[in-house]
Structure 1
Amino acid sequence: MSEIVLGVGASHSTLMNTHWEETLHKDRAERFRDALREARDELARTRPDTVVLIGSNHFRGFWLDLIPPFTIGVGECVASGESGTPKGPQPVDVPLARHIAESLVESGRFDPAFSARLQIDHGQSHAIQYLLDGLDVEIVPLVVNVFAHPLPTLQRCEELGHAVREAVHSFPGDRRVAVVGSGGLSHRLPWPDWREPHGDDEEFMVGAWLDGRANWQKYDARRREIIRAAEASLTPEFDDEFLTLLERGEAHRLTTFTSEELEKAAGNGAQELRTWLLMAAALEHAPARRLAYEPMPEWLTGMGVAVIDPAAVDAGQST
């Protein structure tokens, strides 16, 4: 039987790549980067064949002409390569990806979109860059809509995590599978509600999200300018509470939030916590180990890393 051998949750920020030298809190940045390396080493130690890579979309792989709540890459996968992240084709475990997609549909519980030629952005390629560096693994990319309302509910994301676990376990053979959730923690991006933009910058953003499929690079410079001009809005108290829930195996408590309540508590970027929640559910909410938390206003984000090792839990080693 195939098994899930590790779970990892990790924040992402392309400003790590593009503005490292301008980072003021270098000690925090280095601790976060070291935690990514530690998580990468944990992945190497557990020897996965495949990583189910759960990430968000930042309108470089999906656009407002079509936004599914959940999309599984079942064929080719190409990373857009923005801001120094990996670019080009990524190795996909096609048999497992198609099995997961088919199992979800056959269960009658989910109808995910699928893509035989999926384009991902740093919502997943940041994890490829730092967590999968040098590892000989294939991926099953799973993209969650977290920025174009209406969003899938947090409860629905948790349920999907459990269903993904069941699908992995039912895959014939002996695949060793890790699950990575990329995104969060608290942050607020200067992004509008696409349904009601206000002002030139917001109108520009919505236009880029609607018209960018053929030429998303055309909009990228101004997008970056708008983001760099934004003031940081972090909520370390919320981040600590969430990571504490993860450590206790209680991340499912996040499902009590509506999308509006989550944004009010921790910013629109905290909607990416759906990826962590889905990952934790796929690990049956086993207690996690926090590797780092660093508030990084220069990167506009509360940056966290945690791992869930089911073997350690079974051995009574997890806190």
Structure 2
Amino acid sequence: MAQIVLGVGASHSTLMNTHWDKVVHTERAEAFRDGLKAARDRIEQARPDVVVLVGSNHFRGFWLDLIPPFTMGVGEVVAAGDGGTPKGPQRTDPEFARALATELVNAGTEVAISARQTIDHGQAHAIQWLLDGIDVPVVPLVVNVFAPPLPTMPRVVELGANIAAAVERIGGDRRVVVVASGGLSHQLPWPSDWTDPGNEDEEFLVEAWLNGRGEWEKYDTRRREIIVAAQPTIFEEFDERFLADLEKGEMRRYAELTTEQILEVAGNGGQELRTWMTMISALGFAPGKALAYAAMPEWLTGMGVAVIEPSSAPTTGSAGAVA
């Protein structure tokens, strides 16, 4: 039968590609990059036949005219190429993707499907760094983390568990790696409520989110200016506790966090933790290993990378609220 052989979680930031020469905390940046390379080597060693790539989309493939909670690419997948990430068609496995989507729907997780899906750096950054030189097809699964109402954390955890069960039911001998791209804590200069932008920049962003389909690049220059000018807000204590709990296999305590609670403890960019929780749940809440963490104000983000081996799954979970 098909089996999940590894889980990987990694932060992304296009500023890592475009603003490396502006980095002040060089040792931190290099440590994170080394962590990505170590995770990439672990993926290669796992000999995957397919990678389920769970990530977000920053309004280059999805728009406010239609954003499902979960969308799986089951056909052509094209990377937008924003921020120096890969551009163009990506290698895919439509047969496996369609089977996975079918099994998820049958299990009660109604994923939308896309036969021509556009992904942006929310997933292409992982392809660039974690799959560098590894010739493996990807099945992108986009989670809505930026356009409320967002899928709840319990729903995300259910998604991960259903992915694990679906992989087993599909059969065959495929070796599957689940990669989560996003987080950790960060605050983006985006409107908290897209229906009520608070200034000219937010009005511009909402216009881009509404009208960017097919022409996102015409909005990109000013979007980048807004992002680069943002003041960094990183919650290092939360990030470090999150990774420590991952190493102890105590991630179930995050499974009930609300959107409002995540905003308070990890910023609006922390909503991307849903991608990590999908992967962690798919790996059975097994304890993992943090390979790197770097608070990078130059990239606006707490940058973490970790791996989980499915064989180390604990028999019981850990409950308890996150302060």
2:39 maps to: 39
How far did 1:267 drift? Answer: 0.3
- Aligned pair count? 313
Is 1:91 equivalent to 2:91 in the alignment? yes
Q: Is the 8 A contact 2:287 2:312 kept in 1?
A: no
Is 1:214 equivalent to 2:220 in the alignment? no
1:16 maps to: 16
Tell me: CA distance 1:114–1:312, structure 2 relative to 1, closer, same or farther (3 Å): same
2:185 maps to: 186
1:155 maps to: 154
| Rounded Cα–Cα distance in structure 1 between residues aligned with 2:46 and 2:255 | 29
2:285 maps to: 285
1:169 maps to: 168
| Rounded Cα–Cα distance in structure 2 between residues aligned with 1:110 and 1:288 | 26
Q: Is the 8 A contact 1:81 1:122 kept in 2?
A: yes
1:103 maps to: 103
| Rounded Cα–Cα distance in structure 2 between residues aligned with 1:256 and 1:311 | 25
Q: Is the 8 A contact 1:5 1:178 kept in 2?
A: yes
Cα displacement string for residues 167-187 of structure 1 (whole angstroms, at most 9, x for unaligned residues)? 111112100000000000000
Q: Is the 8 A contact 2:63 2:209 kept in 1?
A: yes
Is 1:271 equivalent to 2:265 in the alignment? no
Cα displacement string for residues 1-55 of structure 1 (whole angstroms, at most 9, x for unaligned residues)? 1100000000000011100011000100000000000000000011001000000
How far did 1:256 drift? Answer: 2.4
How far did 1:310 drift? Answer: 2.3
| Rounded Cα–Cα distance in structure 2 between residues aligned with 1:311 and 1:148 | 36
Matched ranges for 1:137-148 at <5 A = 137-148=136-147
| Rounded Cα–Cα distance in structure 2 between residues aligned with 1:184 and 1:237 | 14
| Rounded Cα–Cα distance in structure 1 between residues aligned with 2:249 and 2:113 | 30
Q: Is the 8 A contact 2:285 2:313 kept in 1?
A: no
Cα displacement string for residues 219-269 of structure 1 (whole angstroms, at most 9, x for unaligned residues)? 000000001111000000000111112111122211221101110111000
| Rounded Cα–Cα distance in structure 1 between residues aligned with 2:129 and 2:309 | 19
The residue type equivalent to 1:55 in the other structure is G
1:247 maps to: 247
How far did 1:311 drift? Answer: 4.0
| Rounded Cα–Cα distance in structure 2 between residues aligned with 1:282 and 1:253 | 16
Is 1:261 equivalent to 2:265 in the alignment? no
Q: Is the 8 A contact 2:286 2:312 kept in 1?
A: no
| Rounded Cα–Cα distance in structure 1 between residues aligned with 2:141 and 2:196 | 28
Q: Is the 8 A contact 1:54 1:141 kept in 2?
A: yes
Cα displacement string for residues 126-172 of structure 1 (whole angstroms, at most 9, x for unaligned residues)? 00000000001111100000000000001100000000111111112
Helix, strand or coil for the counterpart of 1:239? helix
How far did 1:312 drift? Answer: 5.7
Q: Is the 8 A contact 1:158 1:252 kept in 2?
A: no
Matched ranges for 1:108-127 at <5 A = 109-127=108-126
Mean Cα displacement is larger for which, 243-252 or 147-156?
243-252
2:300 maps to: 300
Q: Give unmatched runs, 5+ long, in structure 1.
A: 315-319
Helix, strand or coil for the counterpart of 1:170? helix
Same amino acid, percent of matched pairs? 63
| Rounded Cα–Cα distance in structure 2 between residues aligned with 1:176 and 1:267 | 35
| Rounded Cα–Cα distance in structure 1 between residues aligned with 2:284 and 2:106 | 22
Cα displacement string for residues 52-109 of structure 1 (whole angstroms, at most 9, x for unaligned residues)? 00000100010000010000000000000011100000111111110111111122x1
Matched ranges for 1:56-75 at <5 A = 56-75=56-75
| Rounded Cα–Cα distance in structure 1 between residues aligned with 2:312 and 2:185 | 28
The residue type equivalent to 2:156 in the other structure is C
Q: Is the 8 A contact 2:6 2:43 kept in 1?
A: yes
The residue type equivalent to 2:168 in the other structure is H
Q: Is the 8 A contact 2:284 2:310 kept in 1?
A: no
Cα displacement string for residues 174-223 of structure 1 (whole angstroms, at most 9, x for unaligned residues)? 00000000000000000112121111100000000000002100000000
Cα displacement string for residues 260-315 of structure 1 (whole angstroms, at most 9, x for unaligned residues)? 1110111000000000000000000110101011100000000000000124669x
The residue type equivalent to 1:241 in the other structure is R
The Cα RMSD (Å) is 1.0
